[in-house]
A and B are shown apart, each in its own frame.
Chain A
C-alpha cells in the first residue's frame, strides 16, 4: 500500500470533500475578480499611449463602473460567506454517528493513540499511527499532555488543535483505502517537523484482523537472541518511559511498543521502521531527531543487536 498524495485538492474523506468544494468555489470566484481587476489595469496602461482627454462624461462612466464593481464585490462576498456557512453546517452533520471512538493525546513530539470501547478489554493503545476501516464514522477526542499541537490529515479533514486544559474533537470518515500522512500543524517546539503519523485505511476484515493482533498482546520471544533482547529491554532504562504488554514495562511517557514492529514509521515520521534505522535511532536518538526527549542509552554492541532483534520482532 503506497502513500497517497496528501493534498487538500485530493479529498479522500467526507469532510475533505466538502472542503474541496468550497476551495473550488473560492478559486473560481476569486479568479474571476482577479481577472477583472487585472483587465482594468491593463486597459488603463494601454490607454496611456493614446491621448484621449478625460471628460466629465468619462468620469461619470467610471462612477457607474465603480457602483457596479461594489455591487459585484458585495454579491460575491455574500455568496462565498453563505457557501462557507453551509459547508460548515455540512461538516457538523457529517459522520455524526460514532462507529469508532478514539482518544489522541499529543506529546512533544509523538502521538498517543487509544481506541476506546465500551468494553474496556477491547481498548487498544498504539502510537503514531491510526488504523481505520474504510467508510467508518470516526470520532477522535483530542487533548494535549504538554503544549498546543494540531491534528491534521489533509486527505481526510481540516485540522483541529490539541490544547492543554481543553478537550477538542475531530471527526473523520475515510472513503477509500490507503495510507494517509498526518502532521502536527501547530508549532510545538524543537521537533515540530517530526511529529507526523499515518492513517491506514483498510477493509473491515483487515481492520478487524489488525485489532485482534493488537489485543493479543506482545509476541513472546522464543529464540535466545530475542529473549536476550527482552532482558536488555527490561534491565536498561527503557521501562522508565515505555510499555510492552507482558513485560515489566508499563510506563506511558513514551510510545507503547507492544506492537512496535507493525508500524511503518519510526520516531513519529523521522525514519522508516527498518532494522538499520532502529539501530541508528537507539544508538543516538539525538542525532536522528535532535532535541527529542529520548535519552542516549549506552549499550554494548551485543546487547544492542539483541535489543534490535527483539523490538523488530514485535509484530
Chain B
C-alpha cells in the first residue's frame, strides 16, 4: 500500500464513520433516503465491478435481489437471521454461477438476452412453486430489525463492495478483466482464461445483489413474487451506474446520489409516469453522456491539463 493509497483509505473510512452516524440525526426522512442511497450504491457498484471493465450488460440484478429476499422470507421462522444472510449470499452465488456457466463462454449478446428474462423466469417458477406446494402466494417477514439496523447493514455491505472492488482492481484478475473488455481475442491469446475471470466477477455481483435483497426483505414485511422480482430494479441499477460512470470504482456513487433523490421526487409527483420517465432518462444518458458524469469530468480535466501544460 503506497502512502497515497493509505491516505485515501483513511479518508474513505472516515467518510463511512460519519455516514454511520446518520440515524442519530433523528430525522426519519433522512434515514429513509440513506437506506435508498446505500442500497443502490451496493447494487450499482457491484454491477459496475462486472459490467464496467467487461462491457457485458447484466440485467439480472432483480433476479438475484428477489432470490435473496425469498431466502429470508422462506427461512425466517426456522433459522437465525445472520445465517439467512449468509445463505442468501450463497444462493446468489449459485444462481450467478449457473447463469455464467451457461452464457459467459459465448459472446456478450447471449449473456444480455439470458439476463433480460431471468427475473421473469424466476418469478414464474416461484409463483408456480407457491401455487402448487405452499398454498399461498405471499409470505410475511416479521422481524424486530429496525430501519437503523437495515441502514447499518447496507453501509457495511457498501464498505465490503468498495474493499473488494479496490482489491480486484489491483489484482491480476482486475487487469485480466480490463484486457477482456478492450479486446477479448487479445485476452485469449495472452493466456487469460476469460470465461473464468468473467464468471468470478459475475458471481461477486450476484452475491451482493442477493445479500441486498436479503437485507431489504424485513423492510417489505410482506413479500410477493411481483414485488421483489420487478424488472424496474435492474433497469434503475444500470441507469445509475451508467450515469455516474461504470469504469471507475466510485463512478456509480456519483450517479446513485442525485438519481435516488430525484427519483424520490418524481415518484411522489408523477406516480403514473415513472416508467416513461425512466425510459427517457435512460435514453438521455446513453446519447448525451455515454461515459457517465465521471467520464465527462475526466475528459474535461484532461483538456484543461493539456492547455496548462502548453502554456
> A and B: real partners?
no
